[in-house]
């Protein structure tokens, strides 16, 4: 009682022995370095108080969409969300850009999985029989659109 039965199609994500563990470790190391580098850069940035504009510290120009139309672009606040997430300030990251927080959490999960592969030589695989690629695609697009709508609403309500 209290234990769910195993799904007949198996788990959504599983860990498997790699056919080439050395190569899997090498790829895991690259992914881990990439994710850690992303958070290291984000941690060095000062999150913009207005919830967008942090990317300008990287030498990028200001976003044109807010200047031209008064509403943020679909990715406005992503860098700010990463900067907050790198500091562990998840509520501030969500407020800056919900989709940005989700991407930061996905990058953190990828870093953990890559670290596991680096240490064990085992890889993580998605069971696409349980998780539809089309559904994942629609979910990502919905997340980005939802984050954009949220950003527009909080910008217009200021």
pLDDT in tens, 60-94: 998 888 888 888 888 899 999 999 999 999 999 99
13-48 in b/e form (b: 16+ CB < 10 A) is eeeeebeeeeebbebbeebbeebeebbeebeebebb
Query: Model confidence at 129, in pLDDT bands (50, 70, 90)?
Result: confident
Cβ burial of 147 (10 Å; 0-12, 13-18, 19+) is buried
- Decide if pLDDT at 21 tops 70: yes
- What pLDDT, on a 0 to 100 scale, did the predictor assign at position 118? 94
- Decide if pLDDT at 130 tops 80: yes
Give the mean model confidence (pLDDT) for residues 1-23.
82
Q: Which of 46, 45, 140, 51 is nearest to 102 (CA)?
A: 140
- Decide if pLDDT at 103 tops 60: yes
- What pLDDT, on a 0 to 100 scale, did the predictor assign at position 2? 62
- Decide if pLDDT at 37 tops 70: yes
- Decide if pLDDT at 46 tops 60: yes
- Decide if pLDDT at 5 tops 80: no
């Amino acid at each position: 009682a209290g234990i769910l039965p195993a799904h007949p199609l198996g788990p959504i994500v599983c860990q498997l022995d790699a056919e080439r563990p050395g190569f899997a470790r090498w790829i895991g190391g690259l992914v881990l370095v990439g994710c850690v580098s992303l958070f290291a850069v984000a941690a060095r940035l000062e999150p913009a108080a207005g919830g967008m504009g942090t990317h300008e510290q990287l030498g990028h120009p200001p976003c044109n969409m807010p200047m031209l139309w008064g509403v943020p672009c679909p990715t406005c606040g992503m860098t700010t969300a990463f900067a907050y997430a790198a500091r562990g300030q998840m509520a501030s990251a969500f407020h800056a850009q919900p989709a940005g927080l989700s991407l930061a959490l996905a990058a953190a999960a990828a870093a953990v999985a890559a670290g596991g592969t680096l240490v064990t030589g085992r890889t993580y695989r998605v069971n696409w029989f349980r998780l539809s690629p089309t559904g994942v695609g629609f979910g990502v697009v919905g997340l980005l659109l939802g984050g954009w709508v949220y950003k527009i609403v909080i910008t217009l309500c200021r």
